[in-house]
Structure 1
Amino acid sequence: MAKGAAKGPTVASLKKVTPENLASLGVERLAELLVSVAETRPDLKRRLRMELAANQGPEHLAAEIDKRLGSLQTSRGHVVWRQKPAFVRDLDALRRLIAERLTELDPAAALDRLWLFLQTAQPVARRFRDRDRDGAVAAAYVRAAADLGRLLADQDPHLAANALIDAVAADPEPWAVWAPETLRESSAAMAAVALKAARGRLGGAAPSLAVVRALAQAAGDLDALRGSWSLQALANPSVAAALAPQFLAAGRVGEAGEILRAAAPQPTGPSGRLPPPDFAWESAWIDYLDQAGETAAAQDVRWASFERTLDVDRARSFTTRLADFDDVEAEGRAFAYAAAHTDFERGLGFLMAWPALAEAARMIAARPDDLDIDPAQAELWAAQLRRRFPAAAHRLLRAAAAAAFRRREFKLCDRLTEEADTIIL
């Protein structure tokens, strides 16, 4: 063979199951194989029948889909855990046939069948004794809700909105989960019309309120979104932390501040001390201060938050906003604070996450009596330190091994000791 000549495919490569290799078998042989396998796989046989129906036209495919939807609606037999993977594959294949194959042929018929598909969620859920603990069945319906949104985006907004509100009014609970997925794919115009319709048709129960909030977000109606929460709910830091950033993004800075102040920590107990703020609320508060032009106050909150939490992002956010040389000094101050922290593992964790490996190695050497660290964490940190700071890595592993020995975890002790012995000091 001439040098540089292209090599042909090997026998091993030709035996791999790829579309190209299978095509070489020919249509007739492939058809024979499919029929043979389908005799032992009802789900595959059903799929093949639907593909054949699609070749005859959308009305034939829709008729086959209707049969399967009717079966899902009326079947009552329990699906045991061994059958569940195949059932979920079959369910998702049906969803794809509607959302992809039928949509190509007849979008209106596909839209009708997606509504019907979602209506099978409740009878299908009743067939599982484990209540779908892993969420695989529920996930198929969430994907269907997103498919629905894509089809609704092409509909008249008023017709689409009314159909959506009809569905939610009939069964609000699943739509609390589905609505955000549907609305993410559909239009803001449809969401705005649906939001108006919802005010007169949906009640004040939690699932309905969740749908209203999803509609308000999709429509960009922040006033409606805020109005969907009671004053008591707005005093909850997590609610305020989720709501205020949306007002900030819309340039409504003053209103964002009002929302956050209403949920600010309040003095408790005889001492009148303020409890630690919710971290997410505090993040939103910092953003508010920045946008309100109170940058010095925002920096003060960042540093106080770092001291309380030893959060790396808080410290980095603080230092990156400082002028040259000031940031280096602030980093050193943060490292020193972490190295002296009463919680050794948290302090060391901050230095390792930064990463400030030299400072971490000095901390390990300076506080040998505090080296009581989770063994898995010690191994991870030792792996980071061993190349540049082998002595620190060795101390960490030895300390973790000694702690394992005291707990009579002798196998773990031996493994950590062996790992420590591999480090060249």
Structure 2
Amino acid sequence: MAKPSLAGQKKVTAQNLAGLGAERLAQILVEVAQTRTDLKRRLRMELAAGLGASHLVPEIDKRLAALETSRGQVNWRQKPAFLRDLDALRGLIANRLGVEAQDAALERLWRFLATHPQAARRLKDRDDHFEAVYHTAAADLGALLAAHDPHLAANALVEAAAAAPQAWAAWAGAALTPIASATAAIALTLAQGKSRPMPGWMVFIRHLADAAGDVAAYAETFGQAALATPSVSVEVARRWLAAGRPAEAGAALRLAAPKPKGLLGRLAAPDFDWESVWIDYLDAAGDTDAAQAVRWASFQRTLEAQRAKAYVARLSGFDDVEAESEIFALAAAHENFEKGLSVLMAWPALAEASAMVMTRGDQARIDPEQAEAFAGKLRRRFPDAAERLLRGGAAAAFRRGALTLSDRLTQEAEAIAGK
């Protein structure tokens, strides 16, 4: 085995630091801790953890009390240390105290989560890193709750959410993941019995319904107007399909089905996601012919390659060959040159893509970066088409003022042409 280089031996890694020895590392930590309050506090808590739960709990309680009462603003310079300290406290409660004294850890995780509004007020520029600490704490809490009495766990969860519904709307998914569906069902019943017309409360109940596997309860958290929107009907229908109840899925989707519009009463184009779940519903209901018809109509309307691939994959005999030919013809003749070419390139149908470029290259309107990517795939077998795409992309780049990109594409085209 080759000996590590001198530069490698100087890197700050666990392996290299271990070579310094415990005594020297301890001296360094003590020296640094004299200038870093957060590090000194962390070391003291780690020492307490090594002595057992009875020593760790008072240290945790002191830190929690400080979080509960502190009001000083945390500026951008202090923020990284503040977040490290916050997450270290969470980790000590969940990972150290949680191993030795679960009840004590559970009590302190509840307290930790309750510090969220106070800690948030202290941060001038709160971001995802701050929220992630509490999100992880909620997951830690759920893991501990999973081992407790279901009724007690459910009641505690609902009471905490009733006190801070918006926060728990964000945390519930993480907290409920390790919790048994039976416990979630108890919590769902308790939550439904509370009148809480506050922001976040219905979202919390939605999470409970998901965890309990109660699709009807999930749907009941939406009003009739919301259920008639494609995005909500899709979420409800997906859950019914996952539960093996296609009839209910179909009923949910029909509430948001495309409606006639205009003087002629033509149906509006369906939402793509709604249409995708409608296809899944038709398959689940055994109406495969109707599902195929929707796939084909959807491709003709949207020119989405994945829709066409799904259609072809379900054909038998030589029908798939005929269908592919029709798909390629539709793509090659599509009014949107770039969209049609994208279908052929994604299939991939490089010969047909090359023919399209050579036939319609003069009317090509294509993003320069996309032209470069397509040309890279065509270059070996169809160099003339690749060159033409690159020149079209160079012209488009020039028109938008991207001169460096235009020059690069031109040089690539000339390299193909042998100039």
Please state which band the TM-score falls in when normalised by the shorter chain: over 0.9
Residues in 2 aligned to 1:407 and 1:105: alpha-carbon distance in whole angstroms? 65
Contact 2:142 2:175 in 1 (8 A): yes
Q: 1:367 corresponds to which residue?
A: 360
In the superposition, relative to structure 1, how do residues 202 and 143 fare at CA in structure 2: closer, same or farther (>3 Å)?
farther
Is 1:81 aligned to 2:76, yes or no? Answer: yes
Offset, 1:9: 5.1
Note if 1:406 corresponds to 2:399. Answer: yes
User: In the alignment, which residue of structure 2 is the partner of 1:23?
Assistant: 18
Match of 2:179 in 1: 186
Match of 1:379 in 2: 372
Q: Deviations over 1:217-262 (max 9, x none)?
A: 1111122222222222211111110111211222212111111111
1:139-190 per-position Cα deviation (integer Å, ceiling 9, x unaligned): 1111111111111100100000000011011110111111111111211111
Whether 1:118 aligns to 2:113 is: yes
1:108 maps to amino acid? D
Contact 1:146 1:184 (8 Å CA) reproduced: yes
**Percent identity over the alignment?**
59
Q: What is the CA distance between 1:202 and its match in structure 2?
A: 4.3
* Alignment check: 8 A CA contact 1:202 1:208 kept: no
Shift in Å at residue 410 of structure 1?
A: 2.7
**Structure 2 stretches lacking a partner, 5+ long:** none
The separation in 2 between residues aligned to 1:117 and 1:30, in whole angstroms, is 31
Aligned pairs for 1:249-260 (under 5 A) are 249-260=242-253
Aligned equivalent of 1:36, options 18, 31, 51: 31
Distance 1:231 1:407, change over 3 A: closer
Residues paired across the two proteins, number: 418
The TM-score normalised by the length of structure 2 is 0.95
Partners of 1:189 and 1:59 lie apart in 2 by 34
Q: CA deviation at 1:360?
A: 1.5
Looking at structure 2, the residues matched to 408 and 193 of structure 1 have their Cα atoms a distance apart, in angstroms, of 63
Q: 1:419 aligned to 408, 412, 419, which one?
A: 412
Choose from 34, 46, 55 the match for 1:60: 55
Q: How far apart, in 2, do the equivalents of 1:9 and 1:136 lie?
A: 36
SS of the aligned residue for 1:64 comes to helix
Q: Please say which of residues 242-251 and 402-411 is displaced more in the overlay.
A: 402-411
In the alignment, the residues of structure 2 paired with residue 388 and residue 89 of structure 1 have an alpha-carbon distance, to the nearest angstrom, of 55
- Bigger Cα displacement from structure 2, 294-303 vs 397-406: 397-406
Equivalent-residue separation in structure 2 for 1:86 and 1:392 (angstroms): 57
Please state if 1:109 is matched with 2:101: no
Please state how far the C-alpha of 1:212 moved relative to its aligned partner.
0.9
Match of 2:46 in 1: 51
Which secondary structure state, in structure 1, belongs to the residue aligned with residue 23 of structure 2?
A: helix
TM-score with structure 1 setting the length? 0.93
The CA deviation at 1:20 is 3.1
Contact 1:381/1:393 (<8 A) preserved:
yes
Q: Deviations over 1:366-391 (max 9, x none)?
A: 11222221122222222222222222
Deviates more, 1:207-216 or 1:389-398: 389-398
On the 8 A contact 1:169/1:202 being kept in 2, the answer is no
Which of these residues, 118, 136, 140, is aligned with residue 143 of structure 1? Answer: 136
User: Is the CA contact (8 Å cut-off) linking 2:361 and 2:389 kept in structure 1?
Assistant: no
Q: Secondary structure at the match of 1:138?
A: helix
Deviates more, 1:35-44 or 1:292-301: 35-44
